[in-house]
A = this chain, B = another copy of it.
Amino acid sequence: MLEWVAIESDSSNVLKRPDLHRMMETTAQKLRLMGGTVELVDIGEQELPNGQTLALPKVVTATFGTDPNKHTVCVYGHVDVQPAKLEDGWATDPYNLTDINGNLYGRGASDNKAPVLAWIHAVEAYQALSMELPVNVKFVIEGMEETGSNGLDAMILAQRDTFFSDVDYIIISDCGWLSRRPALTYGTRGNCYFFAEVEGPKQDLHSGVYGGTVIEPMTDLIGILDTLISPSGKILIPGIREAVAPLSDEEWKMYQDIQFDMDSYKNKIGVTQLMYSNKVDLLAHMWRYPTVSVHGIEGAFSDSGSKTVIPAKVTAKFSIRQVPNMDPAMVKKQVTDYLHSVFAKRKSPNKLKVTMVIGAKPWLADTQHPLYEAGKAAVKRVFDMDPDLIREGGTIPIARTFQDVTGKSIIMMPIGGFDDGLHSQNEKMSRYNYIEGTKLFIAYLNEVSQIKKTSV
């Protein structure tokens, strides 16, 4: 894990693309040395906002066993990471895995390098004990998850009748538990990520010399960003809320029954008040309602200190979490039309450009499926308790694609802790979750092998 975390496989930073390529090669090499049939699949290029193109990281596929009498599971994971810099407030170098009191700190530790490695170790465990794998195991490991799995959809579609043809089940371990209790995840939110660029003067201007004479792009940008969401969390973009599937009584009851401590959640985040004060509303807005987050603004003055500048071109980054029955293509149109309409009311001479750079759909599974029953049994065996059945507020963009393209059943089986700090400073994976998680995967392969062939 030390070696994997040390590779700065940040898929959002084009300057780190060589590291990302190296990460894919390292992953492939590991699987090759284990005797798998490994391929590095070329998925083409990505187009950058400036019109240039850049090679996408290859997708690693691997196969262990081809026995037609066994079930075949396909484990999906990713080895790219979110950006991380020591200056962001990390206690340790984010790319130097550091063990502090049984927690392994490093960017990508929990999201998603350790879970991928835990699956690899599960296969190695069978190999080390000279035991036959109870099911055939395939891997699909990608390197663009953090920026929307660019290129993967097409690759899955292209290999639907080859690599994926004999796959029965797809397993994803790219999420976390809700509490200290193990969990199975049956839904995720999608994500539409937008750039809203306002361009005015041809270069930055001195705010003393020019202030008052020009219509400032920052003022315009702040004005339109302020129309996205109300202080109480109501999304103001027309059509978004109307598309959301209503909360059913069953769902309400299910949420009501989930063990969830609002106070420890508040403490973990470090806030005195949440957006909703009751458990059901909170869980619902975490998992099955959309929200808008403004991540930041590129092109303005963002360093410490003071600078008296009128930034000439500023680009806001914001995203809207997707839930059933929202459609990213429709959301793109709703957001673009809305922002242009509120911008037009300002009568500004500046130019607004709205781009959707990620459009990932939500995903939802049936918790009564044998795949989930097998999951419950494996959790019982390793942890001696029943798992929480939860949804995930974050996005695993590929879950929905797997479902739509291959028609196979999917299970999400997390091993990450509830406090792993994904995408934040001081991301970590505990030794406990890493080791017990590996045991869970070993047990799960065995449980899946018990599923009757007819119930597929």
Task: Using CB atoms, name the residue of chain B closest to A289.
Answer: B212
Q: Are A296 and B306 in contact (CB under 8 A)?
A: no
A422 located at the interface, meaning its Cβ lies under 8 Å from any Cβ of chain B in the complex: yes
Shortest distance from the beta carbon of A423 to any chain B beta carbon, whole Å: 4
Secondary structure call for the A interface? loop
| Interface residues of A, Cβ cutoff 8 Å to B | 12-14, 82-83, 88-89, 146-148, 176, 189, 191, 193, 200-216, 218-220, 222-223, 225-226, 229, 231-233, 265, 269-276, 282, 285-286, 289-312, 317, 319, 321, 345-350, 357-358, 392-395, 421-426
Q: Cα distance A422–B208 when bound, in Å?
A: 10
Q: Are B307 and A302 in contact (CB under 8 A)?
A: no
CB neighbours of A293 from chain B (8 A): 207, 211, 216, 218, 308-310
CB neighbours of A204 from chain B (8 A): 88-89, 423-425
Q: Are B212 and A285 in contact (CB under 8 A)?
A: yes
Q: Are B211 and A393 in contact (CB under 8 A)?
A: yes
Which of B88, B214, B269 lies in contact with A201, CB distance below 8 A? B269
Task: Using CB atoms, name the residue of chain B closest to A311.
Answer: B296
CB neighbours of A423 from chain B (8 A): 204-209, 307-309
CB neighbours of A275 from chain B (8 A): 212-215
Q: A212-B286, A274-B213, A307-B12 are in contact. Are A218 and B294 (CB under 8 A)?
A: yes
Task: Using CB atoms, name the residue of chain B closest to A290.
Answer: B212
Q: Are B225 and A208 in contact (CB under 8 A)?
A: no
Q: Are B308 and A193 in contact (CB under 8 A)?
A: yes
Q: Are A222 and B219 in contact (CB under 8 A)?
A: no
Q: Cα distance A249–B216 when bound, in Å?
A: 29
Q: A213-B282, A305-B12 are in contact. Are A205 and B424 (CB under 8 A)?
A: yes
Q: Cα distance A370–B216 when bound, in Å?
A: 40
A/B interface sample: 29 pairs, CB < 8 A? A82-B308, A89-B203, A89-B204, A200-B271, A202-B271, A203-B421, A209-B392, A209-B423, A210-B286, A212-B290, A212-B321, A213-B393, A214-B269, A215-B274, A219-B292, A222-B294, A231-B346, A271-B349, A272-B349, A294-B300, A295-B300, A295-B306, A295-B310, A295-B311, A297-B297, A298-B304, A306-B319, A306-B357, A308-B394
